[in-house]
Amino acid sequence: MKALLALEDGLALEGEHFGAEGETYGEMVFNTSWVGYQEILTDPSYKGQIVAMTYPHIGNYGVNGDDEESGRPWVEGFVVKELSPVVSNFRSRMTLGEYLKKYGIVGIQGVDTRKLTKHLRDRGAMKGGISTTELDPRALVKKVQDSLGLVGVDWVKTVTCESPYDFDETLLPGYEWPEKISPRSKQYFIICVDGGIKRNILRKLNQHGFRVKVVPASMSAQEILSEKPDGVFLSNGPGDPAAVTYLIENVRKLIGQVPIFGICLGHQILGHALGGKTFKLKFGHRGGNHPVMDLFTKKIEITSQNHGFAVDMDSLPKEEVELTHINLNDKTLEGFRHKKHPVFSVQYHPENSPGPHDSDYLFERFYAMVSHHA
């Protein structure tokens, strides 16, 4: 079945449908990862977005029950150059096409993803749409133009958990600690504020010595502190951080009360809570190959990233905040810490470790901070 991809600036590309039939709209973005399409699909940070993979051959190892970052895929649509006709992996339970169809997500293959990526790189991320029913380019472009944008929209409320829950993978039968991590003699209790958290983050927190309770993003600072946590973790999540005003206000009230570690959206929320501002990047950072420098050690990490907004480093109060990490591609802010309170954050996803576990030390740093203030 034919399908059509259109962008709000008039670009239209024909392809072949896979997954579900119908129409879908969202912000058109690209991801430069070679593998990990199932993790990308199930990352809640992609809510509201259509994702194009720059690697040309996708779907060859199918889909399994172990690599999901949440209970379902969150992307609005999926774009690939070539969908593998053959699935070969001992863990595979279904094809990528079957998986998308199961969850009602429209996919398109046979698209010139190189052309699409260069277009987005040069002109910036923009609204897009995929359709198997509307194949008139001008008509679909008009529908895309009339669709909902991303700036100013609170997507967090659509992906956060409905009620608190405990997560402790280390208590499951047959659990084995990772080779380079030993069980902690002291297990600290932390609250994870769910802005769109991924399971691998929770696993990493468990592995590094934390008992974890996940709470909705709307939970008040007073309710969080009433749990008497040893620390608070602010998760990743989708959309414009400036639109999540309730979370910014709650985090502002937590600063100075308890150690805080934020990543991705959590980093941006902390930036706002400390008086800073965020801005929309031209086409965002999405992939597993982004070089980041630690400004203190001068070491370079290869990081996994997925965000379309960044904290304006010049907007942060210099008397209170110290910059710790910077992106080597575009010199945008990748990390900061508070000079007085036990608070730090990074813009990337340290749980993914696309390099040789480059970013694991951040979980160690959080454990040391919590231990010091417990």
d(C-alpha 79, C-alpha 221), whole Å: 40
CA angle 273, 277, 279 (to 5 degrees): 135
Q: Is 349 a catalytic residue?
A: yes
Q: Is 351 a catalytic residue?
A: yes
333 DSSP 8-state letter:
E
20 DSSP 8-state letter:
B
The position carrying tokens 């659990």 is: 175
**HEC sequence for 236-295:** CCCCCHHHCHHHHHHHHHHCCCCCEEEECHHHHHHHHHCCCCEEEEEEEEEEEEEEEEEC
Tell me how crowded residue 102 is: count the other CB atoms within 10 A of its CB: 14
Catalytically annotated residue among 27, 119, 264, 338: 264
Catalytically annotated residue among 272, 285, 307, 349: 349
CA angle 41, 151, 359 (to 5 degrees): 50
Residue 330 CA to chain centroid, in angstroms? 19
Q: Which residues are catalytic?
A: 264, 349, 351
